[in-house]
Structure 1
Amino acid sequence: MKVSLIQMNSQDSKAANLETAARLINEAVENESPDLVVLPEYYAFLGEGRENIYANGETFPDGDGYRLMAGLAAQHKVTIHAGSVVEQDGNKYYNTTIVFGPDGKELAKYRKIHLFDVDTPGGMVYRESDTISRGEEIVTYQVGNTKVGCAICYDVRFPELFRKLRDEGAEVIVLPAAFTLMTGKDHWEVLARARAIETQTYFLAVGQTLSNSEGRKWCWGHSMVIDPWGHIVAQCSDGVGTTSSKLDLSYVAKVRGDVPVASHHVI
């Protein structure tokens, strides 16, 4: 199984962000022929203000991002894990991942469970719950014979979610993110590698990079593929771009056989 990660610097122009996402997906497919392509959190719009966030949200299946990603998945016959967008469902809004299969049809939908309400060490205040409602369902899907688990950004700090994904058979876990610079420089790699080691899965951590919101907020980037032993096997450079890696799923079985932690849980 081969994967391509798309690292973006999304801004407050949805049209421009979608154009960039499509270009990067096309380039990754042409150059790497992946089975699975992953976008970052809030790939279609990354900006501030409740009205702006809601105005750039989507209803499914008629949203611009939804239709674009469905079309690209069908065109390239590839699975696209479309980061996340703001989904409107009635009077509620969610931070939602949609996964599209190689036929362009919706394969899975995951709504972010843990919302980012944090005062960062750098002094920035984030209140995701002011605009976004919390999801409740744990979600996996299939790419061929491989089960893939879903999470988003702040979820990475809650290992119980990832243990549940592992228990449900996930061999690969995908985490689109817009991890902040101040927390990312110290915690991003440590947390992502820890989740990979704990779950003995390939962990795909796909981030936004550089500044947004007219330079007021910065994202850490460093999108990476981590193997089940916790080694980084592919990583994006700073800036917009892609990285790809082949996943040896037999290695998942080997690591789980060598250190069978899943059968040793007491609590």
Structure 2
Amino acid sequence: MRTLRLALIQLAVTDDKATNISRAIAFVERAKQRGADVVALPECFNSPYGTAHFSNFAENIPAGETSLALSAAAKINEICIIGGSIPERDGGQLFNTCTVWDSQGKFIGKYRKMHLFDVDIEGKISFKESDTLTAGDELLTFQVKGWKVGLGICHDIRFEELARLYRNLGCQLMIYPGAFEVTVTGPLHWSLLQRSRANDAQLYVAGVSSAKVDGSGFETYGHTQLTDPWGKVLNELEFAEDMIVADIDMTVVDEVRTQIPIFGQRRDDLYETAWIKN
């Protein structure tokens, strides 16, 4: 299939898990009504974003209540769901994890955030995910209607190497659920990084943020965005809860890669980016 209809959900996340899940499912239903093939949710869509919340909201995957709700919604609506991310509990460890469900509600797999958000910007923001979370160490790709899709989560988008690994695996689309903060990193870097990764790897990039909720402790920047392989921003939201529904075209991927063939011009005799985990 040459075209794929994406729905990107900018959800207003509260401190009530049941409300977050039900609102997410309502958006899934709306996405299906608008003909979407794939719907993507934001980072930590069932939980407030913050180290103080991760343990309290964490669940088993795929047996937890959020996973069960996503599976049922995917099956009922016959739509592929990229489950943003939720705090995952596995034994004694916590992860920031994205789940993927096919249009029959089957669990395809999960991606655990690989690069944890540990920053200290003087006078602005200090945050350390590694205080509570463990970093993932596996890639995840999946197929939907002839498209190969790769996943990263939020801070992962800063690492060009990750996008290149996914491009090496044949991906035409990257999805990054995110929650960039509103003071510094969101305004300066969120759009820039999406355009950069789209240009670097010559694929579509969807950055799916939660909405800005005033007084929530960690206020996210919003601005969910869809970028094409030329680096052109096709759609962008602002701060409020909303949804993008848009078609992407494989022809554009082919066009860019043929006309600017950088992956055939790399000096592999001098440098390389390769997956080294056994």
Deviations 1:149-190 (A, max 9, x none): 010000011100000000000000000001111211011111
Query: Identity over aligned residues, as a percent?
Result: 33
Q: Specify which of 16, 21, 24 is matched with residue 19 of structure 2.
A: 16
Provide the secondary structure at the position in 2 that maps to 1:20. helix
CA distance in 2, matches of 1:91, 1:216: 26
Residue in 1 that maps onto 2:193: 191
Residue in 2 that maps onto 1:5: 8
Does the CA-based 8 Å contact 2:118-2:130 persist in structure 1? Answer: yes
Provide the secondary structure at the position in 2 that maps to 1:164. helix
Residue in 2 that maps onto 1:226: 227
CA distance in 1, matches of 2:160, 2:234: 22
Deviations 1:82-115 (A, max 9, x none): 0000111111111000000001011121001000
Residue in 2 that maps onto 1:69: 70
Shift of residue 49 of structure 1?
A: 4.8
CA distance in 2, matches of 1:196, 1:49: 30
Q: How does 1:19-58 map to 2 (within 5 A)?
A: 19-30=22-33, 32-50=34-52, 52-58=53-59
Shift of residue 238 of structure 1?
A: 2.5
Does the CA-based 8 Å contact 2:7-2:246 persist in structure 1? Answer: yes
1:235 aligns with 2:228: no
Say if 1:217 and 1:55 are closer, same or farther in 2 by CA, change over 3 A.
closer
Residue in 1 that maps onto 2:274: none
Does the CA-based 8 Å contact 1:176-1:206 persist in structure 2? Answer: yes
Say if 1:40 and 1:98 are closer, same or farther in 2 by CA, change over 3 A.
same
Residue in 1 that maps onto 2:93: 92
Say if 1:152 and 1:49 are closer, same or farther in 2 by CA, change over 3 A.
closer
CA distance in 2, matches of 1:219, 1:136: 26
Does the CA-based 8 Å contact 1:210-1:220 persist in structure 2? Answer: yes
Q: Specify which of 203, 210, 225 is matched with residue 205 of structure 2.
A: 203
Provide the secondary structure at the position in 1 that maps to 2:24. helix
Say if 1:122 and 1:221 are closer, same or farther in 2 by CA, change over 3 A.
farther
CA distance in 2, matches of 1:238, 1:11: 15
Say if 1:122 and 1:210 are closer, same or farther in 2 by CA, change over 3 A.
farther
Say if 1:233 and 1:240 are closer, same or farther in 2 by CA, change over 3 A.
same
Deviations 1:3-52 (A, max 9, x none): 0000012122111111111111211221x2111100000000014454x4
Shift of residue 64 of structure 1?
A: 1.2
Q: How does 1:115-264 map to 2 (within 5 A)?
A: 115-120=116-121, 122-181=123-182, 182-211=184-213, 214-264=215-265
The code of the aligned residue for 1:2 comes to R
Shift of residue 121 of structure 1?
A: 5.2
CA distance in 2, matches of 1:225, 1:146: 16
The code of the aligned residue for 1:59 comes to N
Deviations 1:186-215 (A, max 9, x none): 111111100001111010110012136x44
Unaligned runs of 5+ in 1: none
Shift of residue 122 of structure 1?
A: 5.0
Shift of residue 124 of structure 1?
A: 2.3
Does the CA-based 8 Å contact 1:12-1:47 persist in structure 2? Answer: no
Provide the secondary structure at the position in 2 that maps to 1:237. coil
Provide the secondary structure at the position in 2 that maps to 1:95. strand
Q: Which runs of structure 1 show a deviation greater than 2 angstroms over 4 or more consecutive aligned residues?
A: 47-50, 120-124, 214-217
CA distance in 1, matches of 2:216, 2:72: 33
Provide the secondary structure at the position in 2 that maps to 1:107. strand
Shift of residue 54 of structure 1?
A: 1.1
The code of the aligned residue for 1:170 comes to C
Q: What TM-score do the two structures reach when normalised by structure 1?
A: 0.95
Deviations 1:61-96 (A, max 9, x none): 221110111011101111000000011111111100
Provide the secondary structure at the position in 2 that maps to 1:4. strand
